[in-house]
Chains A and B, each alone.
Chain A
């Protein structure tokens, strides 16, 4: 492998260079940033780079698994995805894509200026990148809060109209009654077998929407189905924050689109936040004047990280926002 990597960059192979001028200590005296177990700055830089790339590989697989979940869900429910996609705001998504691309550009420029030893230019670039990240998050915040207001969320909540759609009292009751938080975890399977096809049904007949006739005697049944509904009925679909509940074309399982949407964009958003933290650290160090043509590895590595965050978004954008 290392034979193959004899660089066009002209790095002597580290096996080779050590006989040439193998005295690490001389190099160490010259380059204070050189750690004791490396022989040359090139070796240190290459190691750091390879380490970062391996880390990026783990990031790719980390996101990759979610992409797999996405692909599986989409292949199972294509109609859910093309339907759900229309609830996402292409304009906001598009703007965000551009914001990330531009912040990637400033980051790449930052690396360039760090390599050239231009401290002020580097700082400007880092601040711009930071601003891009913040801008991205702000837009994302508006998107999320809009969705949540429209009740486009994951899980059972997707089917519960938000508070202001119905009377205050009912809404409170509703929000707490059917799936209180802890029980939502433990209970769903136990409490809802009626939605599972009844025994004896032929396998191809789906009974999930057919309620079994209540088998209980008088006295039972009244409480089973909650009738807080009359209110929701009168609301005009377009003005209803959770318009999807009134949409006759909504396919079953639409909540899954939002589940995977929040999972993936949420994880991505988290990476943006981490990116802001590390860029912040770079800004601190750059202000202190740590970087120059000899030593800019941290800038380079954070740059790689930031680009991979951009790269993930490049895939997320068409996969969620741009489904025909």
Chain B
């Protein structure tokens, strides 16, 4: 019954306006680049003007009365002010009420547009986690920043792996909390392509407080014309596979590391997780209590032990981070199962083994031999 009620609401309300162009940035609002932005901005400005009006009226009355009726020493008390005035009082109850109902109604219709994705939308699966995003496209491609086609409604189907997060794209005027345990959806359509350059992309923020890295959960949204997007999509699905095995660690490694760097430094700085500096030496030298249960690496790594090789151990630490906790660190790392495949993990392991070739930011400091350099220019990926 209720759902029919809602659908009736929705039916009457979605008087979709023709997709307007971007609303330019102004004093209050940033550029509005989605088809919905127009309505939201309009509403925002209307309310603003109503507010200006009432504010000015009240302020003017206040200042005027204070100046006019200011008591100077010796002034006699005035007793001619009225004590109440039914018509006046009713009118300033009823007029704001009517204004409010009008505001509500237009806000409501705008909102229905905001939450009702068109049927033909392009779906992107989004996973939010502490503290990052993963965008997964229908063909299996994954990315760290959101890339979407222009001139086409896009629907994000979002889930959270841990706590509440919230996807907010100011330029599109859309926002939706991501609640663990359920699917949240959000849609937008942007007609103003940005190109694949990250610095031109629209901002995407996490606006539901989620802990230490909350303010670093911001990413970019790149909007590409459909053809360009299709091309990107195909490449993106294969980028890891295209890299030869022996180049994986420096071509893919740093990109994957970008997601680890929140917690794991490369220079020995203590973060939420152990630094990667010297990790391979630690793993391969016997002895030393390393885990919070008192065990050491050599107790669990080795033939016939829990992990045959250090590589196995690292892999399991990425997929099941809580299993063995390095002493003094908490169980805070999320699992990357389903997010990083074998090759991705291989590239990270490779990077750990060759840390001396990277700077503290994770950039590879060596140069490619000329032959390899050619392949590099081709696959410029995010």
Contacts and interface: CB of A to CB of B under 8 A. Distances in A.
A319 B40 CA distance: 46
Given A186-B330, A193-B161, A200-B136, A217 B312 contact: yes
Interface string B332-346: 111101110110000
Nearest to A212: B338
Interface stretch (B15-23, B25-33, B256-264, B317-325): B317-325
A199 interface: yes
Contacts of B315: 216-217, 219-220
Given A183-B331, A187-B331, A216-B315, A198 B338 contact: yes
Nearest to A219: B312
B316 A193 contact: no
Contact of A199 (B308, B332, B333, B339): B339
Given A187-B322, A190-B322, A191-B320, A215 B127 contact: no
Interface in B39-59: none
A219 B307 CA distance: 6
Nearest to A194: B337
B280 interface: no
B333 A190 contact: yes
A215 B331 CA distance: 22
A7 interface: no
- Which label, helix, strand, loop or mixed, suits the secondary structure of the A interface? loop
Contacts of B277: none
Query: What band does the interface of chain B fall in when counting residues whose beta carbon is under 8 Å from A?
Result: 35 or more
B331 A190 contact: yes
Given A199-B125, A200-B136, A217-B312, A186 B331 contact: yes
Contact of A193 (B323, B338, B341): B338
B144 interface: no
Contacts of B183: 203
Contacts of B339: 199
A216 B308 contact: no
Contacts of B308: 218-219
A224 interface: yes
A196 interface: yes
A186 B142 CA distance: 28
A108 B30 CA distance: 68
Nearest to A182: B331
B251 interface: no
B162 interface: yes
Contacts of A183: 322, 331
B322 A199 contact: no
B162 A223 contact: no
A292 interface: no
A323 to B, nearest CB: 24
A189 interface: yes
Contacts of A186: 330-332
Given A183-B331, A189-B162, A220-B316, A203 B157 contact: yes
A72 to B, nearest CB: 14
B159 interface: yes
Nearest to B339: A199
A157 interface: no
B192 interface: no
Interface in A217-237: 217-220, 223-224
A197 B331 contact: no
B337 A212 contact: yes
Contact of B161 (A187, A189, A215): A189
Contacts of A220: 312, 315-316, 319
Contacts of B330: 186
Nearest to B180: A189
B381 interface: no
A193 B134 contact: no
Which of A183, A190, A198 counts the most chain B CB atoms within 10 A? A190
B353 to A, nearest CB: 16
B243 interface: no
A66 B136 CA distance: 40
Contacts of B331: 183, 186-187, 190-191
Can you list the 9 inter-chain pairs with the closest CB atoms, starting with the nearest? A219-B312, A189-B162, A191-B322, A199-B136, A203-B183, A219-B308, A193-B161, A198-B338, A220-B316
Given A186-B330, A199-B134, 6 more contacts: A190-B333, A194-B337, A197-B159, A199-B338, A200-B125, A218-B312
29 contacts: A183-B322, A189-B162, A189-B180, A190-B162, A190-B321, A191-B320, A191-B322, A191-B335, A193-B334, A194-B335, A194-B337, A194-B338, A198-B338, A199-B125, A199-B136, A199-B339, A200-B140, A203-B157, A212-B337, A212-B338, A215-B337, A216-B316, A216-B319, A217-B312, A217-B342, A219-B307, A219-B308, A219-B309, A220-B312
